[in-house]
Amino acid sequence: MPTPSSTFRISGDLLVRRLGFGAMHLPTEPAADRARAVAVARRAVELGVTLIDTAYLYGGGANEELLVEALHPYPDGLTVTTKVGVERSADSGEWGLDGRPAVLRAQVERALRRLRVERIELLQLHRIDPATPLADQIGTLRELRAEGKIGRIGLSEITVAELDRAREIVDIASVQNRYNLLDREHEPVLAACAAAGIAFLPWRPVAAGAAGERAEIAAVAAELGATPTQVSLAWLLGHAPVVLPIPGTARTDHLEENLAAADLRLSPSQRDRLDRLDRLDRPDDMADPQP
């Protein structure tokens, strides 16, 4: 059984293991890659993952359908959280923010059908649409929750002020912002979540390629007989009890490496050394896929 520190109750009642899985990188085609992706998703659940993150943006629902192929009927205790609020233009084919109530409602209805569930236990707004009043966006999700189609409401890539405004309208169960050992721009948002008991799901929980290049992280990894990725995830898990990392991968060996981080324990001295690391410069971030 997981220790109490390895689990978290989202909204105080939805029990998940804190180290989850981000499905964004799972390929849905061609057939051979899809088969491997299905195997990775199944292996994640075999290893005890109970929180899997996906979104409509990931292939226009194809990622959700992949998870259904791999995991439906879902085992007891598994939560698949998805995101809405980004839509593809019928004219240009480009993705853009769209938080209009009719769009959000239609996307939730389609997600219910794709995921083959009667209720999405945790539904997150992928981004706040600046062209639509926040009250309309959050209010629509609140209505869908009242209708029993959503269990809990989350937000993604927000500021403390936006979180405060949203909480005036409805209870917020989770926040999904970019955050990792080398990128702590959203520390104030994490602090606000910790104070309110709101789950904080860091996307890009490991700075790809950078963790192994930082001497201090590599040194701690060598001391523990671990990898820099594992050290980075262990740091996150120990940083605040509301942090629920969702590292993603399309490889089973990387999945197993990531999940083994749950058993890694940093000493106070090691944690202090990591805490002092400067935040990574991010000049190319805007070119990266955004979970």
CB 67 within 8 A of CB 23: yes
In this prediction, residues 158-175 reach a mean pLDDT of: 98
| 2 has pLDDT over 60 | no
Q: Which residues are CB-contacts of 101 (< 8 A; sequence separation ≥ 6)?
A: 132, 136, 137, 139, 140
Predicted TM-score (pTM) of the model is: 0.93
Q: Is 58 a catalytic residue?
A: yes
Instruction: Determine the distance from the C-alpha atom of residue 203 to the mean position of all C-alpha atoms in its chain, rounded to a whole number.
Output: 5
What order do you get walking across the sheet with 174-176 strand by strand?
Answer: 21-22, 51-53, 79-84, 123-125, 153-156, 174-176, 199-200
9-204+240-247: CATH topology: TIM Barrel (3.20.20)
Residue whose C-alpha is closest to residue 15's, from 64, 42, 48, 54 = 48
* Cα angle for residues 289, 290, 291 (degrees, 5° grid): 115
Q: Which residues are CB-contacts of 89 (< 8 A; sequence separation ≥ 6)?
A: 95, 96
In the chain, pLDDT over 70 holds for what percent of residues? 93
d(CA 247, CA 60): 21
CB 39 within 8 A of CB 256: no
- The domain locations on the chain are 9-204+240-247
Pairing of strands 14-17, 7-10: antiparallel
CB 7 within 8 A of CB 15: yes
Residue whose C-alpha is closest to residue 239's, from 182, 282, 291, 290 = 182
pLDDT tens digits, 118-128:
999 999 999 99
| 284 has pLDDT over 60 | no
In this prediction, residues 153-167 reach a mean pLDDT of: 98
Q: How far does the chain reach from its first CA to its final CA, in angstroms?
A: 30
Structure tokens at 69: 């192929």
d(CA 253, CA 213): 21
Residues facing 87 on adjacent strands? 96
Higher pLDDT, 203 or 290: 203
In this prediction, residues 9-16 reach a mean pLDDT of: 98
The single residue of 56, 58, 74, 179 carrying the catalytic annotation is 58
pLDDT of 282 reads: 46
> Which helix (H) or strand (E) element contains residue 53?
strand 51-53
d(CA 197, CA 152): 14
pLDDT tens digits, 97-117:
999 999 999 999 999 999 999
How many Cβ atoms sit within 10 Å of the Cβ of residue 115?
21
- Write the DSSP symbol of residue 280: P
How many Cβ atoms sit within 10 Å of the Cβ of residue 7?
16
| 279 has pLDDT over 60 | no
